[in-house]
Amino acid sequence: MKYLPLNPEIFIKNRERFSKELKPNSIAIFVSNDEVPSNGDAIYTFKQNSDLFWLSGVTQEDSMVIIFPDHPDPKYREVLVLVRPNELKEKWDGKRLRADEAKKSSGIQTIVWLDSIDGLLQPWIHLAENIYLDSNENDRKASLVLTREYKFIEDLKKRYPLHQYHRAAKIMKALRAIKTAPEVEVLQQAIDITNNTFQRLLKFIRPGVMEYEIEAEIFHSFLSQRATGAAYNSIIASGDSARTLHYISNNQECKDGDMILMDFGAEYGGYCADLTRTVPVNGKFTRRQKTVYNACLHLHNFAKSLLKPGITIADYTKKVGEEADQVFLKIGLLKKSDIKNATPENPAYWKYMYHGISHHLGIDVHDLGTRTEPIKAGMVFTVEPGIYIEEEKMGVRIENNIWITKNGNKDLMEKIPLTVEEIENLMKK
Tens digit of each residue's pLDDT, the chain (429 residues) = 899 999 999 999 999 999 999 999 999 999 999 999 899 989 999 999 999 999 999 999 999 999 999 999 999 999 999 999 998 888 888 999 999 999 999 999 999 999 999 999 999 999 999 999 999 988 877 777 889 999 999 999 999 999 999 999 999 999 999 999 999 999 999 999 999 999 999 999 999 999 999 999 999 999 999 999 999 999 999 999 999 999 999 999 999 999 999 999 999 999 999 999 999 999 999 999 999 999 999 999 999 999 999 999 999 999 999 999 999 999 999 999 999 999 999 999 999 999 999 999 999 999 999 888 999 999 999 999 999 999 999 999 999 999 999 988 999 999 999 999 999 999 997
Give me the pLDDT at residue 204, please. Answer: 97
- Alpha-carbon distance of 117 to 81, in angstroms, equals 7
Q: Are 197 and 222 in contact (CB under 8 A)?
A: yes
- Domain 181-428: CATH class, spelled out: alpha beta
Q: Are 309 and 375 in contact (CB under 8 A)?
A: yes
- Alpha-carbon distance of 221 to 227, in angstroms, equals 9
Give me the pLDDT at residue 85, please. Answer: 93
Say which amino acid occupies 143: S
Give me the pLDDT at residue 269, please. Answer: 98
- The sheet carrying 380-383 orders its strands as 380-383, 400-405, 408-411
Beta strands 380-383 and 400-405, pairing class: antiparallel
Q: Is 233 helix (H, G, I), strand (E, B) or coil?
A: coil
Give me the pLDDT at residue 122, please. Answer: 96
Q: Is domain 9-176 given the CATH code 3.30.420.40 in the classification?
A: no
- Alpha-carbon distance of 286 to 215, in angstroms, equals 25
- Alpha-carbon distance of 298 to 304, in angstroms, equals 10
Closest CA to 387 of 377, 396, 376: 396
**DSSP code of residue 186:** H
Give per-residue burial for 168-205: e unless 16+ CB within 10 Å, then b: bbebbbbbbbbbeebbbebbbbbbbbbbbbbeebbeeb
Give the start-to-end residue ranges of the domains of the chain: 9-176, 181-428
- Alpha-carbon distance of 78 to 66, in angstroms, equals 6
Own/partner pairs, 43-51, CB within 8 angstroms, 24+ separation = 48/270, 49/134, 49/149, 50/176, 50/363, 50/364, 50/368, 51/134, 51/168, 51/169, 51/172, 51/176
CATH fold match for the domains 9-176 and 181-428: no
Give me the pLDDT at residue 83, please. Answer: 96
pTM score of the predicted model: 0.95
